[in-house]
Amino acid sequence: MNILMICLGNICRSPLAEGIMKTKVPADFLVDSAGTISLHEGEHPDKRAIKTAANHGIDISSQRSRPITRRDFEIFDKIYCMDIDVFEDVISKAKNEAERQKVSLFLEVLGDHKNAEVPDPYWGSMEDFEKVFQLLEKGCNEISNQILK
């Protein structure tokens, strides 16, 4: 099972989601992340994301930002989007129904969070990053429960 996490810049939310998800699935799962924009391509995650992950014993410091590509729709089985704008952007790149079926809003896995978005912490504080971490942790737990059952 190959899982891709997507946000806007691929330096805050989806790198955290990738780092958390990797702790929940067997090592032979491919877990990666990407962004819908290439503004931060090649950059490591935001320092606050790195610190927040490190506070929870997860090292995301070697990740590098990259934009989503057409190939991702072939490689990955599940593509989780952090907010509705990201979801709409990713869905617009899907070429057929099979590809569209792979794409969902990350927080939909938590039934009571229908249409909920993982808030963008980029303009926020360390506290906002920690809140995002907690949301992502909940979602990743549920995804791994669903996938591994």
Residues annotated as catalytic (active site), given as ranges:
7, 13, 120
CB of 19 to ligand 4NP, least distance (A): 13
- Total residues at the site for ligand 4NP (CB under 6 A)? 10
Interaction between residue 13 and ligand 4NP (CB under 6 A): yes
Output phi, psi for 127, to 5 deg: -60, -40
Interaction between residue 4 and ligand 4NP (CB under 6 A): no
Which residue in the set 23, 30, 39, 54 belongs to the binding site for ligand 4NP (CB under 6 A)?
39
Give the per-residue SS3 of 7-55.
ECCCCCHHHHHHHHHHCCCCCCCEEEEEECCCCCCCCCCCHHHHHHHHH
Query: What residues are paired with 2 via a beta bridge?
Result: 30
Interaction between residue 107 and ligand 4NP (CB under 6 A): no
